[in-house]
Amino acid sequence: MGTKSFFKPNENSKITLDLTAIEEYRRGGDRLDLAPHLTDITEELDHNTLMGGLTYEFSNAEKTNNYSVYASGQHTDRKSFYGGLGGGRTAQDSITAANAYGNTDDLALLFGGQFTRNFKNNDILTVGAEYNLNRTEDDIAGYNRFIDQKVNSIGTFAQYEWKPSEVFSALLGTRLDHVNVEGNYNIQQVNRTSNIDQTVLSPRLTLFYNFAENWRLRGGYARGFRAPQAFNEDLHVSSVGGEPQFVILSEDLETEYSNAFTASLNYSKNFKKLQSNFLLEGFYTDLENPFTTVSTGATLPNGSILEEVRNGSGAYVAGTNFEMGISPSSKFTFQMGGTIQQSKYREGQVLFEADGTNPSETNIVIEDFVRNPSFYGYLNTNLRVFEESNIDVTGTYTGKMTVPVVVSDSGFLQLNESDPFFDLNIKLNHHFDLSDNLQMNIFAGFKNILNSYQDDFDIGATRDSDYVYGPSLPRTFFFGIKFGNLHNL
């Protein structure tokens, strides 16, 4: 339930208010008619979220000076259950399973302001400042799991877009952030703290050159960072071997930095009614101290498995994008594109660290990122058969990738290579004009026509709940009817 409203005191100012309240309940697993702690495996989440924002925009009469002041916030109260009996059937198993109930309280606030100056020579200056506050408490008392984290961030930014001519432009910007993280992370007897107080400068540069008719060349550089802290994905508790799997930050986790370089060549031309476009882009991103999640091979006194976020020795992602599109008329358009890339660690990265108690379990070391295909692409086609009817054909291709699956209650991994997936979809749409202002649309189609879908799900009470990859739906038929105003459809 939500609302969005605005008020314009005059032609040069506007006040906008957004408010939204969401109640979301989700549950997965087996025996949905029973309480979660009486099932073999359950993931249950009950969210109550309230979010809103207030923005005041104003400008001078000439619209050359534009100001924006804004504030927004979000509060989430989450009740969760990650666990189950794991195949057990005794009264003690039920008591142990009841430990998996948890509560999360999360508050995020943002305050900021921005000024934009449009000069007579078409140059644009943008400056601003922001303050971010995030407070998270995540408590699973039965497992002695508690996260108490507070993040304060103050950032200022400036950007200048220089347009000396119609064929050349440059954008130079930078952002200065001061980040303070105070965190306590506890799981059973494992206690970690984080006390980060640092300032980071993140510059960026983009160049554009229209060196010939229909030809455009772009290049750029940008620097980014992630401070050591628990993120949303770390609050998710996986179920492995009937036991929970927790994530905790390492003792000496350092800030992760990225340096990204891009260059692209674009050609677009109209041949009478035929429109064409082609893009070739190269990219290279260097990662310093990349965050990596390592299965420690250690089990806690309650039987749960421990993973640790550590810094890797370094990594890079490099590759090429290509895109092309043609449209011989307004009745037919075709677009396709793909990415060929390498995602590698500079040195072997430990994914599983054996503790020496089981001779059959040894360290697992990887060079390539897991769950990252070296090739993926898309296609998008629209055909207007009649004035009132059209056909959409869309698809995505995901190449082979390495996907880890946990195969023991210590967190020991097996590396599987997935098959490539081609997720092809078709949609037919026909509309009727019921009146001058009212239109009815009837549509139907298939998602994943080829049924290109994962065929080796881990099953049972002791399954690895994270072993899921590929298209989200098997072959699926859908249809619907939509009514609306002609101007809004």
pLDDT per residue as tens digits for the range 308-333 = 999 998 999 999 999 999 999 888 99
The whole-angstrom separation of Cα 262 and Cα 260 is 7
Q: Is 265:200 a contact under the CB 8 Å cutoff?
A: no
439 with 311, same domain: the answer is yes
pLDDT of residue 407: 86
35 with 76, same domain: the answer is yes
Q: Among residues 321, 411, 398, which one has the least CA distance to residue 361? A: 411
pLDDT per residue as tens digits for the range 47-83 = 999 999 999 999 999 999 999 999 999 999 999 999 8
The whole-angstrom separation of Cα 63 and Cα 117 is 9
383 with 477, same domain: the answer is yes
103 with 61, same domain: the answer is no
Given the structure tokens 């005041």, which residue do they identify? 56
Last residue of a domain, one of 26, 59, 89: 89
109 with 178, same domain: the answer is yes
pLDDT per residue as tens digits for the range 100-156 = 999 999 999 999 999 999 999 999 999 999 999 999 999 999 888 999 999 999 999
Residues in the chain, how many? 489
pLDDT of residue 27: 95
123 with 38, same domain: the answer is no
Given a cut of 80, whether residue 401 has pLDDT beyond it is yes
At residue 373's C-alpha, the angle toward residues 367 and 379, to 5°, is 160
DSSP conformation letters of 195-246: EEEEEEEEEEEEEEEEEETTEEEEEEEEEEEE-S---GGGG--EEETTEEEE
61 with 114, same domain: the answer is no
The whole-angstrom separation of Cα 125 and Cα 120 is 12
50 with 119, same domain: the answer is no
Last residue of a domain, one of 26, 61, 89: 89
pLDDT band at 486 (very low <50, low <70, confident <90, very high): low
Range of the domain at 247: 90-485
118 with 204, same domain: the answer is yes
pLDDT of residue 387: 81
Q: What is the CATH number of the domain that holds 142?
A: 2.40.170.20
Last residue of a domain, one of 63, 89, 115: 89
SS (H, E, C) 292-324: EEEEEEEECCCCCEEEEEEECCCEEEEEEEEEE
Given a cut of 60, whether residue 488 has pLDDT beyond it is no
pLDDT of residue 35: 93
Given a cut of 60, whether residue 405 has pLDDT beyond it is yes
Alpha-carbon distance values, 348 to 121, 296, 314, 365, 432 (Å): 52, 16, 10, 6, 61
pLDDT of residue 438: 87
97 with 84, same domain: the answer is no
What amino acid is encoded at 383 in this protein?
L
286 with 355, same domain: the answer is yes
Given a cut of 90, whether residue 92 has pLDDT beyond it is no
98 with 33, same domain: the answer is no
Q: How many domains does the chain have?
A: 2
